[in-house]
Amino acid sequence: MKPKLVRGTRDFSPAVVNKRNYIFDTLRSVFVKYGFNPLETPAMEELSTLTGKYGDEGDQLLFKILNNGDYLAKANETALNNKNSSQLTASISQRALRYDLTVPFARYVVLNRNDIAFPFKRYQIQPVWRADKPQKGRYREFYQCDVDVIGSESLLYEAELCQIYDEAFAKLNLGVVIRLNNRKILDGLAQYAGYPNLFTQITVAIDKLDKIGWDGVQKELERLGIDELGFEKVKAVINAPDIPTLKTIFAGIEVGLKGIEELETVQAFLEGYAFKNTLKIDFSLARGLSYYTGCIYEVEVDTSIESQKDIKMGSIGGGGRYADLTGIFGLKDTSGVGVSFGAARIYDVMEELNLFEQIPVSSSNVLFLAMDEAALKYGFKALQKVRAAGISSTIYPKAWKFQKLMKYADKVKVPYVVIIGSKEMESGALGFKNMTTGEQQSLNIEAIIEQLKSE
């Protein structure tokens, strides 16, 4: 049998995992700084928990799990005979892999509401699964890194999430544009265009603007029955140069003006904060997920930066305010807001920009190499002293030829090696080599420990 990977999934070598952990550790340090606590939820959720939360397109991307045992025993025979997959699914699958971390978080909050102090701030770093068509930057299994706060309508948290995005990407040395809009503005757009009942469909069409352009959006809107005047009004809102202009357009449209007011409140909270990246108010930002009700975010690589100009990647983060996501699970009027970091895409961009050059690819800081059996026993005892000092270290498990030992050390990319032979055992001065510079010294084990600690 020829081994192969499932399309849209990847193996991760130790070097890759170390780099990815650098991203996770960096994000975690920012999340903790802003007062968020860790949370984990199961990979599987009830299918009913997930369906209807991501729009029609999102529902199609759920990985359903067949029921245990003979899953056809209770299958809908009519649906089976008619090959009606949508009706058949309900009778053969009751569970699915989670699509994102937000809906499971809402489910957790409802189940644990008596033990939670609101507002509740959590971060979550776990994999999610989507039955998508694999392509560059798009995988079927990938990690999300989420921060959410639930139980408060304060727009202070929207401002805080802008700061979290800014600080996290600055720490990763990756320049980004943080795009900000409000779903109420899109609701106002639908009213202004004269099609308030098509708000969701118009939003989905606008969400594709960067992929299909205005001609494509116009065709989508035409299929919805929106005439030329309606299309021109949609363009007028999206292309509004600033908030004052949009206020004039939305005169008398209460929901649109409310969205503008919320954006202005977020800006007020951020007064005096010096962004390291770019925050951009963008009226074209739609975010297709149906549970968003207020401010929405999307983050993309800033290609105006010379070193990043050739990066071709979609969004590497996004999120927004949801007014009542927990309501569907029985906990009404509990507003929340959160954002997600697309770890897989962030990794790919950082790899392309060589931003991992200073990240250790080996978990061991030093490797002991023995020239003979006596040296192997001697080295194993010396290794215990290094580990007792809290230094990550390992030893090659047998005596071998020097050239082969060094070839192994090169391959595992360990930063230092300790070389032990009969001469080193007799003198106590061990060979200590820096694998980056090639410099080699003769030092006793105590001096080696001190030097490793000082690194």
Peptide bond before 119: cis, by omega within 30 degrees of 0?
yes
Residue 251 is classified by DSSP as T
Give residues with Cβ within 8 angstroms of 162, minimum separation 6: 178, 180, 266, 270, 279, 297
Residue 362 has pLDDT above 80, yes or no: no
Q: Which of 341, 323, 343 is nearest to 21 (CA)?
A: 343
Give the largest CA-CA distance in the chain.
91
Residue with tokens 């040296």: 375
Strand, helix or coil for residue 116: coil
pLDDT, residue 88, reads 84
Q: Which of 331, 263, 316 is nearest to 106 (CA)?
A: 331
pLDDT, residue 398, reads 94
Q: What is the mean pLDDT of residues 418-445?
A: 96
pLDDT tens, 127-167?
Answer: 999 998 888 768 899 999 999 999 999 999 999 999 999 99
Residue 361 has pLDDT above 80, yes or no: no
Model confidence at 382, pLDDT cuts 50, 70, 90, reads very high
pLDDT, residue 135, reads 84
Q: What is the mean pLDDT of residues 306-322?
A: 94
Model confidence at 210, pLDDT cuts 50, 70, 90, reads confident
Considering the chain, what is the average pLDDT of its residues?
93
> H or E element: which one contains 82?
none
pLDDT, residue 288, reads 57
Residue 69 has pLDDT above 90, yes or no: no
pLDDT, residue 125, reads 98
pLDDT tens, 191-201?
Answer: 999 999 999 99
pLDDT tens, 286-302?
Answer: 975 677 899 999 999 99
User: Which residues belong to the annotated binding site for L-histidine?
Assistant: 100-102, 130, 144, 148, 287, 291-292
Residue with tokens 């952990």: 21
Model confidence at 328, pLDDT cuts 50, 70, 90, reads confident
Q: How many CB atoms lie within 10 A of CB 114?
A: 5
Q: What CA dihedral angle connects 135, 283, 168 and 309, to 10 degrees?
A: 60
Contact predicate 101/146, CB 8 Å: yes
pLDDT tens, 431-441?
Answer: 999 999 999 99
Global pTM value: 0.86
Distance CA 327, CA 350 (A): 39
Percent of the chain clearing pLDDT 70 (strictly above): 99
Distance CA 439, CA 441 (A): 7
pLDDT, residue 289, reads 65
> H or E element: which one contains 98?
none
Q: What is the mean pLDDT of residues 229-238?
A: 96
Residue 225 has pLDDT above 60, yes or no: yes
Distance CA 161, CA 155 (A): 10
pLDDT, residue 113, reads 95
User: Which residues belong to the annotated binding site?
Assistant: 100-102, 130, 144, 148, 287, 291-292
pLDDT tens, 24-39?
Answer: 999 999 999 999 999 9
18 token code pair: 């170390």
Contact predicate 161/319, CB 8 Å: yes
Q: What is the mean pLDDT of residues 316-327?
A: 89
